[in-house]
Amino acid sequence: MQDYHDFYDPPEKETESPEEPFYPEEPKPVYPPVPTPEPIPMNQKILVMSCVSAGMIFILCIYCIVSDLMQGALHYTSSTAQNIVNIQVQEKPDLDPEDENVTADKEYTVRGVAELVKPSIVEVYVYQKNALSGTGSGIIITEDGYIITNAHVVQGDDFKVSLDDETEYTAQLIGSDNKTDLAVLKISGSHFPPAILGDSDQVYVGENVVAIGNPAGLANTVTKGIVSAINRQVRAESTGFMMDCIQTDAAISPGNSGGALVNMYGQVIGITSSKYASAYESTYEGLGFAITINQARPIIQDLIEKGYVSGRFRIGITFMSADNEYAAQEFQNKFHEEMPEELKKSLWISNISEDCDIANTDLQADDFILTMNDQPVSDYDSVLAVLDGCKGGDTVTAGCARFEKGELAYFTITFQLEEDTSGNF
């Protein structure tokens, strides 16, 4: 080992000053040289870049596929859910009597009802072959533009509606049910003013009501009256089907059809229909009818969600009741004999639909059906009563009779009911 004297020559000592100690410098550490990386050949660079690019493309493809699937699933959920509409009924509100449009009885004035409900009433324009063929009324029931009206109003090819502010929209027919004279239209958009639906079971005779519609094309006409009767079973002119109606003396004229009968809380309790009044209006005045909202609500719900009323069936026959003078005279004209007593309480068949199962039985036109499922049938109402609760696909047994050469021949048939989505039966 070397001493620092080997490489250092100290100075001569001076006698006056003491010798100062010396500390040698600590040697600096020596590191091995860092090797310089060899350059990557060009072909290896291309290979690495290709692998990285392929990996990025693969990841991007996976992302796009997952994104599309998620969007598709969300779109499907949205399109499925958009037809599910929960039609709500509101309890009678507790109104503030201090409001200028509220009476001391805590009900709206006619003005108050009109201001609240008129924005929800629309005028419906019906076109056939691009020409205006008729008008009617409708009620907005959802913020996204579902509108209820009468089925006889929408007998056309194209439809437009005009709102209270005179804005016009093209409307799509979602579903129509001729049996009950109810239909649903839809306009595109949002934030429309929906009407408030009430509970028609709480309506009482003598209650003040307001009818709002478009008679004779006179937009948003308001008429006042009272509830003249409730639970009126009124038969539709076109189908003969009976609906639960509210009778009122508020004026309901052609053009009012599809409009609203409103209580003094601003709630729709009925859908006005001139078709239910037509059997009386030529003879009596002050007779208006509105389909109760409670009976209409499940039909409207089905029309929105399915486009038809579910649970219906059809037999596949056209008939008339044999229990009347007209049928007796027709029988006399056809068979040149009086109708036997046994046939007077039966259905006289005039036509059989080939697309129904009953066409595969022995039943023919001019035969008579006396019973269904061992219960007597003689008219439309008795058939509905006997087959109440039945649905498409159910089996029915019918007792029949045929009049030939002055004698009656009895026979039995068995057939299946057909599901009906047409709304005509």
Measured distance CA(183)–CA(162) in Å, rounded: 17
Strand 158-162 versus strand 121-128 pairing type:
antiparallel
User: Which one-letter DSSP state was computed for residue 310?
Assistant: T
**In this predicted structure, what is the pLDDT of residue 71?**
36
Alpha-carbon distance values, 185 to 82, 138, 142, 307 (Å): 14, 9, 11, 11
Nearest-CA neighbor of 120 among 163, 169, 174, 183? Answer: 163
**Sign of the alpha-carbon dihedral angle for 90, 141, 271, 286:** positive
Specify the DSSP element, H or E, that contains 111: helix 110-117
**In this predicted structure, what is the pLDDT of residue 42?**
53
Measured distance CA(13)–CA(15) in Å, rounded: 6
Q: Does domain 196-296 have CATH number 3.40.50.720?
A: no
User: Which one-letter DSSP state was computed for residue 285?
Assistant: S
Known catalytic residues are 152, 181, 257
Q: CA triplet 104, 110, 111: central angle to 5 degrees?
A: 100
Taking only Cα atoms into account, the Rg of the chain, rounded to an integer number of angstroms, comes to 42
DSSP characters for 133-199? Answer: EEEEEEEE-STT-EEEE-TTTT-SSEEEEE-TT--EEEEEEEEEETTTTEEEEEES-S---PPEE--
DSSP-based three-state secondary structure for 124: strand
**In this predicted structure, what is the pLDDT of residue 62?**
55
The domain ranges of the chain are 196-296, 313-419
**In this predicted structure, what is the pLDDT of residue 292?**
96
DSSP-based three-state secondary structure for 53: helix
Residue-level pLDDT, tens digit, the chain, 425 residues: 444 444 444 444 444 444 545 445 555 555 555 555 555 555 555 555 656 566 666 665 555 444 443 333 323 222 333 466 767 678 889 999 889 999 999 999 999 999 999 999 999 999 999 999 999 999 999 999 999 999 999 999 999 999 999 999 999 999 999 989 999 999 999 999 999 999 999 999 999 999 999 988 898 899 999 999 999 988 766 566 788 999 999 988 888 899 999 999 999 999 998 655 555 555 567 788 999 999 999 999 999 999 999 989 999 999 999 999 999 999 999 999 999 999 999 999 999 999 999 999 999 999 999 999 999 999 988 998 999 999 999 999 999 999 998 999 999 999 999 999 888 76
**In this predicted structure, what is the pLDDT of residue 276?**
58
Third-level CATH fold of 313-419: Pdz3 Domain (2.30.42)
Long-range contacts of 362-367 (CB under 8 A, 24+ apart): 362/400, 362/411, 362/413, 363/317, 363/398, 363/400, 363/413, 364/402, 366/334, 366/402, 366/403, 367/400, 367/401, 367/402
Measured distance CA(154)–CA(136) in Å, rounded: 8
